[in-house]
Amino acid sequence: MTRLANLPADIKQYLIVTGNYWAFTLTDGALRMLVVLHFHALGYSPLSIAMLFLFYEIFGVVTNLVGGYLGARLGLNKTMNIGLALQVVALFMLAVPPEWLSVAYVMLAQALSGIAKDLNKMSAKSSIKMLASGQEGTLFKWVAILTGSKNALKGVGFFLGGLLLTLMSFKGAMLTMAATLLVVWCFSIYALKNDLGKAKNKPKFNEIFSKSSSINILSAARLFLFGARDVWFVVALPVFLSQAFDWDHWTVGAFLASWVIGYGAVQSFAPKIIKLNKQTSPSAETVKWASLLALVTLAIALAIGFDWAVKPMLIGGLMLFGVLFAINSSLHSYLIVSMADADGVSLDVGFYYMANAMGRLIGTVLSGLVFQLYGLAACLAISLLFIVITALISTKLPKQI
């Protein structure tokens, strides 16, 4: 406790921001799993389930642009607290009688949750630039730990969602999560005091779009990378596991939770796998890891399409996909923080995660639509195409950090 009390003020603030981000992530992962499994059980089609997340992703795109601007002007403490408050409201909105849960109503609640999620993500990741400026090894380590721990906790959230739906009603699960996060928000209002990340030169609203060619290229690669994941992971995979393997809610939730936890753990160890220095080529590294991911995706798609040992190939392939995707994602997350302008870092980070949200949006819609019309193999074929595009775009990244 004495050591913690003696930490610099900015680091204390960052630790609180990170703790908020972790608490939020648990509810975010649980909410996603609860919505998919609950509405699938009610008889909703895969496309209808995907539509429930449409506003979540659309408003995530907008939030990352506007949120980066707000973070630079107001400080990351305020954007973090706004995000926590909106998530509490969204959870309470879903804790209503079942007959109120129309597609339009759930989409509205998910819109608030999408805004909340990206305000939290932008606030947490932008903070790192303030703490490790000019220390590339330290920066990659901090980014990897934050990103990896977040995804591991999101996996725990998936597990939590399946567990809550097994132990209590959908409404009870929403109330439990809302009450818990409300306590976190109250603590955050009290504890977050410094304007970490506030720009010295107040940015104009028209500066929300990045003027850096490197950041634009990396953002485009990120868009297709996350579209490649979500086109088969968000709706298609959990519904396929439920239908083809006859798994119950608990089993689906536990399996996907384990995958995301493992994926997060690999992200945390990415700096030990990728040795970055001033001579490292971001272009070569991103192309290499994207190419390996493409080969794994091709193998899974062929196994599903030609009915070759579907269960072991899907489960084993998913594990390997998770490892490679985690490395790709961690490398991208480091590069955006490294390339971002130190003054008003949230502007560049916000623009980048806008592209990330756009990729999730495209992937989510296609996940429901393509799976409903053509099945999981078609979703994987699109995933493969997106990964190849990611690799091609990455060839245009700088040759040196």
CATH number, domain at 73? 1.20.1250.20
Say which residues have a Cβ less than 8 Å from residue 89's Cβ, sequence separation at least 6.
112
What does the pLDDT read at residue 99?
84
> Does any domain span residue 349?
yes
> Does any domain span residue 284?
yes
> 86-98 b/e with 16+ CB inside 10 Å = b?
bbbebbbbbbeee
Residue 131 lies in domain: 8-192+212-394
Q: How far apart are alpha carbons 41 and 242 in whole angstroms? A: 10
What does the pLDDT read at residue 255?
87
- Per-residue model confidence as pLDDT tens digits over 189-203: 888 776 665 655 555
Q: How far apart are alpha carbons 203 and 226 in whole angstroms? A: 29
- Count of structural domains, the chain: 1
Residues of the chain predicted below pLDDT 50: none
> Does any domain span residue 3?
no
What does the pLDDT read at residue 200?
58
- Per-residue model confidence as pLDDT tens digits over 290-329: 999 999 999 999 999 999 999 999 999 999 999 999 999 9
Q: Position of tokens 């209002």?
A: 189
> Does any domain span residue 48?
yes
> Does any domain span residue 151?
yes
What does the pLDDT read at residue 287?
94
What does the pLDDT read at residue 203?
55
What does the pLDDT read at residue 95?
93
Tokens for 240, please give them.
Answer: 């396929």
> Does any domain span residue 328?
yes
Say which residues have a Cβ less than 8 Å from residue 398's Cβ, sequence separation at least 6.
214, 281, 282, 283
Residue type at 182 in one-letter notation: L
> 121-135 b/e with 16+ CB inside 10 Å = b?
bbbbbbbbbbbbeee
Crossing angle, helix 76-94 and helix 103-131, to 10 degrees?
A: 160
What does the pLDDT read at residue 389?
97
> Does any domain span residue 400?
no
First-to-last CA distance in the chain? 38
What does the pLDDT read at residue 88?
96
Contact status, residue 341 vs residue 347, Cβ threshold 8 Å: yes
> Does any domain span residue 147?
yes
Q: What is the distance of C-alpha 363 from the center of its chain?
A: 13
Helix (H, G, I), strand (E, B) or coil at 235: coil
What does the pLDDT read at residue 344?
55
